[in-house]
Amino acid sequence: MAKIYIRGGYIITMDSRRRIIKDGAIAIDNHEIIDIGKREVLDKDYRYHSDLVIDALNDIVLPGLINTHVHLAQGLLRACADYLPLIPWLRDRVWPLQGNYKPKEALISAQLVIAEMIMSGTTTFLETGLVGRYGPDNIIEFILKSGIRAAIARHVMDQTGYADQQNILHEGLIESGDKSFKDTLRLYNKYHGRGDRVWIWFGPRTPGAVSLKLYHEIAEKARELGTGITMHLAEVREDREYLMKTFNKKPIEFAHSIGLTGSNVVLVHTVWIDDEEIKLLAKTQTSISHNPSSNAKLASGIAPVSRMVLEGVNVTLGTDGGPSNNSYDLIREMKIATLLQSVNTMNPESLRAEDLLEMVTINGAKALMIDRMVGSLEVGKRADIIVVDTHKPHLRPLNNPVSHLVYSSMGSDVKHSIIDGELVMYNREIQTFNLEEVLEKAEKAAYNLYERAGVCTEPDINWVIE
């Protein structure tokens, strides 16, 4: 592996003291960070003794970002489901499209999403649920090729409902409990821990699509294997009402009763939960993936994340997918997260920029159980590092790098990305696969999919297109 030396810039370490090193430098060798400190000190040892020297004078250098809620199969679905609330959004648009995927198209969707994530600073992500028809093996092989790091949940299910809506899941997405559970184990045996870059998780579908017996089996097996579980929960009011009516339990109480709380669990959205449930999340060390753009766009609500942070819950950030956010840019997601909490609580300090940077770095690493490996820039940790180019009018004067990252930056400001010591993007060019090819194939694959599903064949615009 090449020895890489990054010199200059504000280095936001995210170490336990949250040090920011002004005019700092980092040396990388054999996957790892081997030195970090002031440029004037490190220059002597590394400036002329490295294979690649990256000048980051006046730029911002920080740990690669961790996106804890991603749908790889929704990359081709952008703008196919605008202006709808969750249940019709799923039933009439998203599921018919996903239920018509051919493996080749699902792979192109994943490639598109991974390219977008790399180019906007994400170095690790949590996929929420692959299914058999997407061809999960091909997707995981591509993840390994791309250089990105990922925990990949595979969907597990044995019913076809969503909350109290029965038989609502598209037929193309239906799998048996036996098949979906066994295929998760197959993927686990084949890929889990491969190169310290891919881990296989359980991704149970939401209540209504999984029996209590299967939920318990998932919880038990995940613990036995030492792997994770992620699930959407309490995204919309209907989820809470269904769980109260059917099980007489609030959403987090329900999750707790089926074994879906604990430090190996990432619950997604949790918009409709109360203070008592927040305390239970903190007590059980359950992580939360907050997805503010998605919750805002589908008019689902605003999750009480500033309260969760106060109570000590490990809150992380996710973008969700192409039709709910329409972007996989985690830097933009930080801004909407803080703005929504400010307006929701009428307190401009309810989430500070520092809180947001913790969510997308060290908290994300904790949620994925890889915080000893990534999430901060420290000697001995894997080199997952991004460089944000500040030589731009919207990032000057450079008087506060933390504020600038959250309030002023966007994903396209990320100039270089290093993952596991490998240069994955250099001067905004992906080094590990051909982006042009992906863009070209995505265009064709999407229109074939829309035609077959009979959805999204015309753009949803009220104006005349000539």
Residue numbers at the binding site for Zn ion (CB under 5 A)? 320
Q: Report whether 307 contacts 288 (CB < 8 A).
A: no
User: DSSP letter string over 304-340?
Assistant: -HHHHHHHT-EEEE--B-TTTTS---HHHHHHHHHHH
User: In the beta sheet, which residues pair with residue 38?
Assistant: 24
Q: Report whether 210 contacts 156 (CB < 8 A).
A: yes
Residue 238 CA, distance from chain mean position:
24
CB of 324 to Zn ion, least distance (A): 7
CB of 3 to Zn ion, least distance (A): 40
- Residue closer to Zn ion by CB (options 13, 180) is 180
- Residue closer to Zn ion by CB (options 320, 355) is 320
- Residue closer to Zn ion by CB (options 206, 338) is 206
CB of 218 to Zn ion, least distance (A): 18
**Tokens matching residue 306:** 């500033």
Strands 265-269 and 414-419: unpaired
- Residue closer to Zn ion by CB (options 86, 243) is 86
In the block, which residue shows the tokens 């973008």? 319
- Residue closer to Zn ion by CB (options 13, 291) is 291
- Residue closer to Zn ion by CB (options 320, 422) is 320
**Which amino acid, one-letter code, is at 94?**
V
Q: Report whether 420 contacts 198 (CB < 8 A).
A: no
**Which amino acid, one-letter code, is at 70?**
V
CB of 235 to Zn ion, least distance (A): 8
CB of 299 to Zn ion, least distance (A): 15
459 burial type by CB count under 10 A (0-12 exposed, 13-18 middle, 19+ buried): exposed
CB of 460 to Zn ion, least distance (A): 21
CB of 294 to Zn ion, least distance (A): 7
- Residue closer to Zn ion by CB (options 238, 320) is 320
User: In the beta sheet, which residues pair with residue 124?
Assistant: 66, 149
Q: Which residue is nearest to Zn ion (CB)?
A: 320
User: In the beta sheet, which residues pair with residue 150?
Assistant: 125, 198
CB of 177 to Zn ion, least distance (A): 21
CB of 356 to Zn ion, least distance (A): 20
Residues in the chain: 466
- Residue closer to Zn ion by CB (options 131, 414) is 131
Phi–psi pair at 154, nearest 5 degrees: -105, 135
Q: How far apart are CA 331 and CA 48, in angstroms?
A: 33
Q: Report whether 374 contacts 124 (CB < 8 A).
A: yes
CB of 45 to Zn ion, least distance (A): 46
Strands 24-29 and 4-7: antiparallel
- Residue closer to Zn ion by CB (options 320, 413) is 320
In the block, which residue shows the tokens 């649920």? 129
- Residue closer to Zn ion by CB (options 61, 131) is 131
132 burial type by CB count under 10 A (0-12 exposed, 13-18 middle, 19+ buried): middle
